């Protein structure tokens, strides 16, 4: 199998798997229990929290575990609007956010909040100025993703949030960092962000675990209430196995961000070289995108090409896998024509991807273009 769909999910690393096994066999206590089994479980959660906090330059007390980035994004937006939304009713977001942001702001819009969506300019790039100009005294929160999951575009989050904070210090800043975490250097101070969403399964941990960084002092109304775990911000017995796996994966991959980035940059170059030899293939991701995500159009309907690849045990995605083949409109936002969006394919690599795998993919793509009618 050639797995080139790592923006959808990644294979859990052995460290994450053994962390899960340990926590479901030996360390199975409830962190809230007052006996030793509970304490040991609590220690495992504390350890993971410390690793994750350290990896983004946060304090341990600023990390809250959730079930994944979808929940983190919901908690950030709904939580902040719940806390401050009576006085300030405006939300500013980019127009290319993941559904867990877009659908949430749409729901808040229906409740009466004002939502402003900022599109990229004609050159397909975002400019800090456009976000700043949309902010005003009524704005409660601004949310921007660091790396777009469909194209790899890197948004100017740090620069935008810095300028926003300078002019409107009270606006809460939030960043969906799912596709940037453990791939680019991420630091909450450099990003000037008050909140940051992370997901475990995109970084070789496991599904069902995520985190939200909430800067000390930012008020958030919980979206899940109950037994007051996670300081009352996110109730529910902590999933020690998943949290431990998340911590183990971060501990491992945090050491090699730069080396892996360079390796994947080389792989992207190799991929683009091979694609340039095939007629009818165009590249939708910009040159300055994250190398981990490459979006192309091959002139054949995405789903048909995807299944052609699947028969050869090559796994890629059409646009965003989260939308199950349904177009999210993100590609059009980036100026990609409807026709090219219909044939868009997303190749998302890891540092373990090999040039041989890329060669096989490129050859299969060429074969697919020949065999599938345009
Ligand atoms: N944001 C982005 C940018 C994503 O790519 C994803 C996953 N597709 C999510 C949020 C949601 O993450 P999770 O699967 O952990 O809910």
296: which strand partners? 283, 345
Neighbours of 208 (CB within 10 A): 17
pLDDT, position 320? 46
Residue 308 structure tokens = 């052609």
pLDDT, position 322? 46
pLDDT, position 29? 97
The pTM assigned to this predicted structure is 0.97
Counting from 1 in the atom list of ligand 1, the atom nearest the Cα of 72 is 16
Give the three-state DSSP class for 268: helix
pLDDT, position 251? 98
Q: How far is the CA of 208 from the centre of ligand 1 (A)?
A: 11
Active site residue 322: yes
Q: Is the CB of 200 under 6 A from ligand 1?
A: no
pLDDT, position 328? 73
Does residue 151 contact residue 284 with C-beta atoms inside 8 Å?
Answer: yes
Give the per-residue SS3 of 207-219: CCCEEEEECCCCC
pLDDT, position 324? 56
Q: How far is the CA of 69 from the centre of ligand 1 (A)?
A: 5
pLDDT, position 321? 43
Virtual CA dihedral for 239, 241, 247, 251, nearest 10 degrees?
180
CA distance 73 to 141: 12
Q: How far is the CA of 64 from the centre of ligand 1 (A)?
A: 17
Chain centre to alpha carbon of residue 172: 19
Counting from 1 in the atom list of ligand 1, the atom nearest the Cα of 147 is 3
Q: How far is the CA of 40 from the centre of ligand 1 (A)?
A: 30
Taking the chain (374 residues) in runs of 10, the rounded mean pLDDT of each run is 97 98 97 97 98 98 98 98 95 97 98 97 95 97 98 98 97 98 98 98 98 98 97 98 98 98 98 97 97 97 95 88 64 92 96 98 97 87
pLDDT, position 326? 64
Cα atoms found within 13 Å of the Cα of residue 164, Cβ hemisphere only:
33
Q: Is the CB of 175 under 6 A from ligand 1?
A: no
- Active-site entry in 13, 175, 177, 322: 322
CA distance 131 to 147: 16
Q: Is the CB of 176 under 6 A from ligand 1?
A: yes
Q: Is the CB of 205 under 6 A from ligand 1?
A: no
The CA distances from residue 348 to 60, 296, 301, in Å, are 31, 11, 19
Q: Is the CB of 69 under 6 A from ligand 1?
A: yes
Q: How far is the CA of 204 from the centre of ligand 1 (A)?
A: 14
């Amino acid at each position: 199998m050639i797995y080139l769909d790592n923006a959808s999910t990644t294979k859990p690393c052995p460290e994450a798997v053994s962390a899960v096994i340990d926590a479901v066999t030996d360390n199975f206590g409830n962190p809230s229990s007052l006996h030793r089994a509970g304490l040991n479980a609590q220690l495992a959660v504390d350890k993971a929290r410390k690793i994750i906090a350290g990896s983004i330059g946060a304090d341990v007390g600023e990390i809250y575990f959730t079930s994944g980035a979808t929940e983190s994004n919901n908690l950030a937006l709904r939580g902040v609007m719940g806390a401050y939304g009576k006085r300030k009713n405006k939300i500013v977001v980019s127009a290319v956010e993941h559904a867990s942001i877009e659908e949430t702001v749409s729901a808040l819009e229906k409740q009466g909040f004002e939502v402003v969506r900022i599109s990229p300019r004609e050159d397909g790039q975002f400019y800090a100025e456009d976000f700043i100009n949309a902010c005003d005294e009524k704005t409660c929160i601004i949310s921007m993703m660091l790396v777009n999951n469909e194209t790899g575009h890197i948004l100017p989050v740090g620069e935008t949030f810095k300028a926003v904070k300078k002019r409107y210090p009270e606006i809460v800043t939030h960043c969906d960092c799912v596709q940037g975490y453990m791939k680019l250097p991420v630091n909450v101070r450099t990003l000037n962000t008050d909140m940051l969403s992370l997901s475990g399964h995109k970084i070789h941990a496991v599904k069902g675990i995520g985190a939200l960084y909430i800067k000390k002092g930012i008020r958030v109304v919980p979206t899940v209430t109950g037994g007051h775990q996670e300081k009352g911000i996110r109730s529910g017995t902590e999933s020690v196995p998943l949290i431990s796996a998340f911590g183990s994966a971060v501990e491992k991959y945090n050491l090699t961000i730069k080396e892996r980035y360079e390796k994947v940059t080389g792989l992207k170059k190799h991929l683009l070289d091979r694609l340039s030899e095939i007629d009818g293939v165009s590249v939708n991701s910009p040159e300055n995108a994250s190398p981990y995500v490459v979006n192309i159009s091959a002139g054949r309907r995405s789903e048909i090409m995807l299944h052609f690849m699947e028969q050869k045990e090559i796994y890629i995605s059409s646009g965003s896998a989260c939308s199950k083949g349904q177009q999210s409109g993100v590609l059009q936002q980036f100026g990609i024509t409807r026709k090219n969006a219909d044939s868009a394919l997303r190749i998302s690599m890891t540092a373990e991807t090999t040039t041989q795998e890329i060669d096989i993919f490129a050859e299969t793509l060429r074969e697919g273009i020949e065999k599938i009618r345009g």
